[in-house]
């Protein structure tokens, strides 16, 4: 069971907007930055968002991140079939002194 809670799946049509939720606690999301990763099956995870809402160079602005309290959200606009992947949130847990991941959300682009 993951420390951070993510819904197992989400689906949307091409061109639409989708959001992914990530829920934690005061010791992790509530007091630390959140990052998001995209993992296409069979490949290594790729950093999409760091420090809650910052995009690394090369990540299009269709991807956005936000945080409020003990929850974080990843948003993707203008969905493309190539966005089909698993999406993971992660943060540091100050109580455990470890990094923690969510269980991942599988995106299906219908």
Partner 1 sequence: QITLKESGPTLVKPTQTLTLTCTCSGFSLTTRGVGVAWIRQPPGKALEWLAVINWEADERYSPSLRSRLTITKDTSKKQVVLTMTNMDPVDTATYYCAHLPSFAYYFDYWGQGTLVTVSS
CB of 15 to partner 1, least distance (A): 29
Smallest distance, Å, CB 51 to partner 1? Answer: 7
Near partner 1 in 77-106, by CB under 8 A: 88, 90-92, 96-104
Strands (E), 26-81: 34-39, 46-49, 63-68, 71-76
* Beta strands at 105-109 and 9-12: parallel, antiparallel or unpaired: parallel
In the window 29-48, what residues touch partner 1 (CB under 8 A)? 32-33, 35, 37, 39, 44-47
Measure the CA–CA gap between 20 and 43, rounded to whole angstroms. Answer: 20
| Dihedral, CA of residue 30, residue 25, residue 55 and residue 9, to nearest 10 | -160
The smaller minimum CB distance to partner 1, of residues 76 and 100, is found at: 100
Q: Which is nearer to partner 1, 87 or 109 (CB)?
A: 87
CB of 81 to partner 1, least distance (A): 22
Q: In whole angstroms, how close is the CB of 64 to partner 1 at the nearest point?
A: 16
């Amino acid at each position: 069971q993951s420390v951070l809670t993510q819904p197992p799946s989400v689906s949307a049509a091409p061109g639409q907007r989708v959001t992914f939720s990530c829920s934690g606690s005061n010791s992790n999301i509530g007091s630390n930055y959140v990052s998001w990763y995209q993992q296409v099956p069979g490949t290594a995870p790729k950093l999409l968002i760091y420090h809650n809402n910052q995009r690394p160079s090369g990540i299009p602005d269709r991807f956005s991140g936000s945080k409020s309290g003990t929850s974080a959200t990843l948003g993707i606009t203008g969905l493309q079939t190539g966005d089909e992947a698993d999406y993971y949130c992660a943060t540091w847990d100050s109580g455990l002194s470890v990094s923690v991941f969510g269980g991942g959300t599988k995106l299906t682009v219908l």
